[in-house]
Amino acid sequence: MDISSLKDQLSDQFKELKDRIQESSLYVELKERFDLLPGRVQKLIVIGSTLLVGFFLFSIPYGNLSDSWFYEEQFEESR
């Protein structure tokens, strides 16, 4: 298998998953409710969601880094 076939296979699987999600009743209901909101509220929801996801993606590596600083400090004290 070469890279291009793996890329195509992954792309096809992603499209199938996206189609399944978009066909679900929960997605349709949430999309309709979102579309009924005023434009300003929609923009706030998108920005807030993006910031929340960004915070979680940033907090995981930062937590590991802060733990490593703590363990290094403990090691230096006990040395």
For 12-45, the pLDDT digits (tens) are 999 999 999 999 999 999 999 999 999 999 999 9
In a shared domain, residues 77 and 46: yes
| CA proximity to 42, closest of 34, 51, 33 | 34
Q: How many CB atoms lie within 10 A of CB 26?
A: 8
Total structural domains within the chain: 2
- Which residue type does 51 have? L
Task: Decide if pLDDT at 2 tops 90.
Answer: no
In a shared domain, residues 74 and 46: yes
In a shared domain, residues 13 and 46: no
Q: Tell me the residue range of the domain where 11 lies.
A: 1-36
What does pLDDT average to over the chain?
Answer: 94
In a shared domain, residues 42 and 32: no
Task: Decide if pLDDT at 51 tops 70.
Answer: yes
C-alpha span between 19 and 70 (Å, rounded): 45
C-alpha span between 65 and 22 (Å, rounded): 38
Task: Decide if pLDDT at 79 tops 90.
Answer: no
In a shared domain, residues 44 and 31: no
Question: Which position has the token pair 């579309």?
Answer: 35
In a shared domain, residues 1 and 27: yes
Tell me, yes or no, if the pTM score tops 0.85: no
Longest CA span, the chain: 63
